[in-house]
Every structure is written in structure tokens, then in C-alpha cells.
Chains A and B, each alone.
Chain A
Amino acid sequence: NAGVTQTPKFQVLKTGQSMTLQCAQDMNHEYMSWYRQDPGMGLRLIHYSVGAGITDQGEVPNGYNVSRSTTEDFPLRLLSAAPSQTSVYFCASSYSGTQNAEQYFGPGTRLTVT
């Protein structure tokens, strides 16, 4: 199993540009989520999904969109990039929406917005 994969690893955007961060998992996990990691702030939940066709907002959803058309994929879209979105983005999945399930994380995407 490849686990959770993310592309790209690095990305530089100009303010106002849009892009999609890709996330895929091959573990047949129902639950997937997106976090951003900023120094001194830990990880903050952006959006999550409990299954194909179902998504919901997390703690910091503004400026981001998600969709879940398949169990495997959970892309994160930045609509109009802003410098405040410079961060490291992690995708994670778990085998169910059960609250005691541990999450498996991808390697991250480091995004810089200039």
C-alpha cells in the first residue's frame, strides 16, 4: 500500500492564483481530512469528509473548497490564493468516522504564496 499520497510536494503561487492540492489513499478509508500546519499553532482542520459525496467544514475553511467524488481522492482547492495561506498542508485518512480511530497522514505539501 502507498498509504496517503499528496501532490505536489512544493508549490509557489502568486496572490490571486488558484490551484488544487491532490490527496489520495489506497486503504479504503472512509474518513479523510485536510489540515494546515503553521509554526506555533499546531495543526488546524480545514475540511473533512466522512465518505464519498459528504464533506464538512473544519476550523479554518475560508478560502478553500473540497469535494469527495470517490473514496480514494480528496482534493483541496484554493480559490484565490493569499499570502495568509502560506503553510504546510497535510491530508489524513482513517478507516472510519469512528472517533477513536487514529489517522494516517500524507507527507505534506509546502505552499508559498507571494
Chain B
Amino acid sequence: AQSVAQPEDQVNVAEGNPLTVKCTYSVSGNPYLFWYVQYPNRGLQFLLKYITGDNLVKGSYGFEAEFNKSQTSFHLKKPSALVSDSALYFCAVREAGGGNKLTFGTGTQLKVEL
């Protein structure tokens, strides 16, 4: 069975500092990995995805994520955080060839402070 873990319920960072939101996954085969962001009282918005190829994936709003197969991780990063980045972030995984189910993590609340 596929699964996703987001070990931190909340991450606090000062504006202008780099941020990292952690995600680890478990699948039997190759993974398709996704990051989504949810602002208050809104639906989820797609940020970026890893399918294959370059381990560093760039996405919307200056976010990027690094796929690490040996550590089964897909951490979300941004070099310089903004207060407007404060939101709930979800990592999700789907196993390649494993069907249509997309499994989400429990979410990490990012708070960027001045």
C-alpha cells in the first residue's frame, strides 16, 4: 500500500529565510509525487510534481522540491519565504502503474512571520 508522511504539523519561519516542508513516501514501485497548497477556506492548488528525470523540480510561486529515491523523500523548499506563503501544504503520492488512487499526507501548516 502507498503512504505519505509529513512529520511536521507546523513549520514556522521568518520572512526572507529559506523554508523546507518535509515529505516522505512509501510505494512498491516508482512514485509520482505532488505538492499542493491550501489557503484558508479554499480548495487545494497544484504547486509542482515529480514524474521522472531531474530530481530537482521547480513549480509555482518560486517553490521547488527535491526527489531523493534513496531516502524516499520529496521535500518542498523555497529560498526566501514570504508572509503570503503561509498556508497548509499537502504532499501526495501515486504509484506508477498502481491505479488511480492519490494518497495525501496529513498536511503541514506553514507560518511565515515578519
What residues of chain A have their CB less than 8 Å away from a CB belonging to chain B? 4, 31, 33, 35, 40-45, 48, 50, 56, 58-59, 90, 92, 97, 99-100, 102-108
By the criterion of a CB under 8 Å from any partner CB, how many residues of chain B are at the interface? 27
Cα of A108 to Cα of B107 in the assembled complex, Å: 17
Pick from B43, B45, B100, B106: contact of A41, CB under 8 Å: B106
Pick from A4, A35, A42, A50: contact of B106, CB under 8 Å: A42
Cβ–Cβ contact B43 & A105, under 8 A: yes
Cα of A105 to Cα of B99 in the assembled complex, Å: 20
What residues of chain B have their CB less than 8 Å away from a CB belonging to chain A? 4, 9, 32, 34, 36, 41-46, 49, 51, 90, 94-102, 104-107
A41 to chain B, nearest CB (A): 6
Cβ–Cβ contact B105 & A42, under 8 A: yes
Contacts A40-B106, A42-B107, A43-B90; A90 near B101 (Cβ below 8 A):
no
Cβ–Cβ contact A106 & B43, under 8 A: yes
B26 to chain A, nearest CB (A): 15
- The chain A residue sitting closest to B105, CB to CB, is A42
Other contacts beyond A99-B94, A100-B49: 4, CB < 8 A: A42-B90, A99-B97, A99-B99, A106-B43
Cα of A33 to Cα of B97 in the assembled complex, Å: 18
Cα of A24 to Cα of B24 in the assembled complex, Å: 33
Cα of A48 to Cα of B97 in the assembled complex, Å: 17
A54 to chain B, nearest CB (A): 11
Most chain B beta-carbon neighbours within 10 Å: one of A59, A102, A108: A102
Cα of A30 to Cα of B92 in the assembled complex, Å: 20
- The chain A residue sitting closest to B101, CB to CB, is A45
Cα of A35 to Cα of B36 in the assembled complex, Å: 14
